[in-house]
């Protein structure tokens, strides 16, 4: 068992904090040992607003995971989200002094040149993800290290965010005397387990609907072309129900889970939903069409916003997306796939972590996609065997860079 490594993924979500403990097996698979979890307090829209409370919640979740797995957690991989995160694509270029074989240092240099762009002063780079190399105008060179040339260019997807907000997350974990292996964009983590390599190559949009945020990522030709965070999520649906039907938040949440449907209210069966009395709530009758209308409008709007963002980011990109994969706790809402199909006009699939083994009940729930994805990401970044794709080979190199930076 000497080859086996333990990876811990920590997601500080708006609804819950989850800790996934997974074992990397020799056959390139991730096997989940267990999950620690606590309801989250002090997080709004994916960002920490109450440091003390969140730290306490994270401690509980870590202890819970340690209890369940008998693993002593020393280092974690952390997912990060929030509307402050922004992304763009940029090309770096490097003119070699003479025509020669490309060296690994050249790859580093071209990456640095791609990062020589002005980002807002409070921001810092989170990810620089390779899309493709070009040598002497020769597009999409698979392995530049084996080619000769005088001009090396590379396209990158660059993610940046506000330094202080990223630091908040780090500070919270460090105060628990837990080491941080790396910080990973939530959607990038989720994509590692919900998208297959074929889907990435074919062109896919992954949407992870959480409590406070909706994170999305576009893969085309096997590389990331766009990513985004929308500070809207399941909490907004609950809030809309609470405002529209004048229900307390807790009752609205329950109603959403039990009766909620995102399908077009034109097809709603109508009728009345009876809400029973309970000690803190006087019962009432709720009009189902009204409930459906509230949810449909919000969900439809979330997808519309994503579509518009993708359309405005890179021209023509939306036409290259062949399928939409929806994951996250929000994907459990009835009828959500139909609404997405209406908006994107391409096949939509509800999905969850795949290519993992272990405690199956855990990964069958889409709300753990990000935390499980973290462990898979960790595996890809740290393993020494040949990675399955160019992207992953690159993230591997990136991972070592990150470590240099964070220590």
Q: Where on the chain is the footprint of other proteins (CB under 8 A)?
A: 44-45, 49, 83, 116, 118-122, 164, 230-232, 235-236, 238-240, 242-247, 249, 275, 282-287, 289-290, 293-294, 297-298, 300-301, 305
Tell me the closest approach of the beta carbon of residue 304 to other proteins, in angstroms. Answer: 10
Collapsing DSSP states into helix, strand and coil, what is residue 224?
A: strand
Would you say 26 or 112 has its CB closer to other proteins?
112
d(CA 144, CA 96): 13
Nearest to 324 by CA among 236, 197, 202: 202
Nearest to 90 by CA among 65, 50, 127, 42: 127
Tell me the closest approach of the beta carbon of residue 27 to other proteins, in angstroms. Answer: 43
d(CA 125, CA 162): 9
Would you say 214 or 369 has its CB closer to other proteins?
214
Tell me the closest approach of the beta carbon of residue 289 to other proteins, in angstroms. Answer: 7
- Indicate the burial class of 56 (C-beta count within 10 angstroms; 0-12, 13-18, 19 or more): middle
d(CA 370, CA 377): 10
Sequence-ordered list of residues with C-beta below 8 angstroms from that of 70, at least 6 positions apart, any chain: none
Tell me the closest approach of the beta carbon of residue 6 to other proteins, in angstroms. Answer: 36
Would you say 3 or 312 has its CB closer to other proteins?
312
Sign of the CA dihedral with 213 first, then 218, 222, and 224 last:
negative
- Which pair of tokens denotes residue 266? 């034109």
293-322: b (≥16 Cβ within 10 Å) or e: bbbbebbbebbebbbeebeebeeebbebbe
Would you say 262 or 326 has its CB closer to other proteins?
262
Would you say 150 or 249 has its CB closer to other proteins?
249
Nearest to 22 by CA among 404, 382, 351, 391: 382
Tell me the closest approach of the beta carbon of residue 114 to other proteins, in angstroms. Answer: 12
Would you say 119 or 314 has its CB closer to other proteins?
119
Tell me the closest approach of the beta carbon of residue 283 to other proteins, in angstroms. Answer: 6
| Helix (H), strand (E) at residue 107 | helix 104-114
> CA–CA distance from 111 to each of 128, 153, 154, 279, 338 (Å)?
8, 9, 7, 61, 41
Bridge partners (DSSP) of residue 161 are 124
233: number of Cβ within 10 Å: 26
Tell me the closest approach of the beta carbon of residue 275 to other proteins, in angstroms. Answer: 8
E strand residue ranges, 40-120: 43-44, 47-48, 75-80, 86-101
Would you say 176 or 305 has its CB closer to other proteins?
305
Would you say 51 or 346 has its CB closer to other proteins?
51
Would you say 249 or 257 has its CB closer to other proteins?
249
Tell me the closest approach of the beta carbon of residue 237 to other proteins, in angstroms. Answer: 9
d(CA 75, CA 170): 12
Tell me the closest approach of the beta carbon of residue 128 to other proteins, in angstroms. Answer: 14
Whether the CB-CB separation of 148 and 100 falls below 8 Å is answered with yes
Would you say 294 or 353 has its CB closer to other proteins?
294
Sequence-ordered list of residues with C-beta below 8 angstroms from that of 238, at least 6 positions apart, any chain: 249, 252, 253, 256
Tell me the closest approach of the beta carbon of residue 211 to other proteins, in angstroms. Answer: 12
């Amino acid at each position: 068992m000497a080859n086996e490594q333990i990876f811990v993924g920590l997601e500080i979500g708006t609804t819950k904090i989850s800790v996934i403990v997974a074992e990397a097996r020799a056959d390139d698979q991730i096997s989940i040992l267990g999950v620690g979890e606590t309801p989250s307090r002090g997080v709004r829209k994916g960002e920490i607003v109450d440091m003390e409370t969140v730290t306490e919640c994270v401690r509980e979740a870590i202890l819970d995971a340690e209890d369940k797995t008998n693993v002593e957690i020393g280092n974690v991989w952390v997912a990060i989200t929030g509307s402050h995160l922004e992304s763009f694509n940029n090309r770096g270029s490097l003119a070699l002094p003479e025509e020669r074989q490309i060296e690994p240092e050249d790859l580093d240099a071209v990456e640095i040149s791609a990062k020589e762009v002005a980002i807002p002063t409070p921001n810092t780079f989170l990810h620089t993800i390779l899309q493709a190399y070009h040598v002497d105008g020769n597009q999409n060179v698979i392995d530049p290290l084996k080619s000769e040339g005088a001009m090396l260019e590379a396209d990158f997807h660059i993610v940046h965010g506000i330094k202080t907000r990223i630091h908040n997350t780090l500070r919270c974990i460090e105060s628990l005397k837990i080491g941080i292996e790396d910080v990973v964009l939530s959607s990038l983590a989720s994509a590692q387990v919900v998208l297959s390599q074929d889907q990435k190559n074919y062109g896919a949009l992954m949407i992870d609907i959480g409590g406070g945020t909706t994170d999305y990522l576009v893969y085309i030709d096997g590389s990331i072309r766009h990513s985004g965070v929308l500070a809207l999520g399941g909490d907004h649906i609950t809030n809309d129900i609470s405002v529209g039907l004048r229900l307390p938040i807790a009752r609205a949440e329950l109603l959403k889970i039990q009766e909620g449907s995102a399908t077009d209210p034109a097809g709603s069966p109508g009728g009345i939903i009876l809400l029973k009395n309970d000690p803190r709530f006087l019962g009432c009758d709720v009009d189902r069409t009204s409930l459906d209308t509230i949810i449909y409008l919000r969900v439809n709007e979330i997808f519309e916003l994503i579509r518009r963002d993708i359309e405005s980011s890179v021209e023509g990109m939306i036409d290259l997306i062949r399928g939409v994969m929806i994951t996250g706790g929000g994907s459990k809402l009835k009828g959500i796939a139909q609404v997405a199909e209406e908006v994107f006009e391409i096949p939509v699939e509800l999905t969850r972590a795949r290519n993992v083994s272990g405690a199956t009940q855990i990964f069958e729930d889409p709300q753990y996609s990000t935390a499980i994805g973290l462990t898979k990401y960790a595996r890809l970044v740290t393993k020494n065997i040949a990675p399955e794709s160019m992207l992953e080979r690159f993230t591997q190199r990136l991972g070592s860079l990150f470590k240099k930076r964070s220590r």
